[in-house]
Amino acid sequence: METNYKDMPFLAETSFLNADLIIRSKQDLLGFARELEQRGLMTLHVDQMEDCLWQATFELEYESGNDRFDAILSGILDCIEALPAALQEQWRALESRTLDLGFEAGTETRHYTRYIRPDLLNRMINTGLVLAITIYSPVNG
């Protein structure tokens, strides 16, 4: 039996959900995570992975969604740019720095376009961020 997604109103529109900052390091990230928390990021997890690298994932602590897109990107960049010199060195020494933008695919939106302003792109480049985009498919209720 085929599911008729059009009868599921919670899946109607494609939308921006949130942005995660994901960092990986050979060094323990617990202290670095505390520093980022003091600057406005919320730690979602800090763990040593199977490949022996440490990974930490963060979000901003305030509301997300389409209308907060620019504010979320800018807020994450503000936190990174506010790191003191010693922590900036640790930031640059990370194995990877990824800003993962999460979107939920809806069933009513044929196409969805989201623009990132050049000033935000330049800030991402200057902080050494890799941009990732994650699309979450509709979930059967």
The whole-number pLDDT of residue 140 equals 62
Q: What number is the average pLDDT over the span 3-29?
A: 78
Contact criterion met (CB below 8 Å) for 76 and 42: no
pLDDT grade for 29, boundaries at 50, 70 and 90: very high
Contact criterion met (CB below 8 Å) for 46 and 34: no
How is the chain split into domains, by residue range? 5-19+31-136
| Pairing of the two strands 96-104 and 130-136 | parallel
Angle between helix 118-126 and helix 69-81 axes, rounded to 10 deg? 30
Question: What are the pLDDT digits (tens) for 46-87?
Answer: 999 999 999 999 999 777 788 899 999 999 999 999 999 999
Q: Global pTM?
A: 0.86
Angle between helix 85-92 and helix 30-38 axes, rounded to 10 deg? 130
